[in-house]
Structure 1
Amino acid sequence: MGTHRKTWSKSEKLAVISKAKAEGVLEASRHHEVSTTSICKWLDKVESIGESSLEGLHAPELRRENKKLIAENKQLKEMNADKELKIMLMERLLKKKKKVTYHGREDQLAREFIEGGHPQDTVLRQFDDTKEYLLLQTATRH
Structure 2
Amino acid sequence: MSKHRKRWSESEKKAILQYYQEHGASSAARQFEVSTSMIYRWASELSPSVLKEVETTISSKEYHRLLRENQALKELVAEKELEIRIKDALLKKTSPLSKSG
TM-score category (smaller protein): 0.3 to 0.5
Higher relative contact order (CA 8 A, sep 6+): 2
Which structure has the larger Rg?
A: 1
Q: What TM-score do you get using the length of structure 1 for normalisation?
A: 0.33
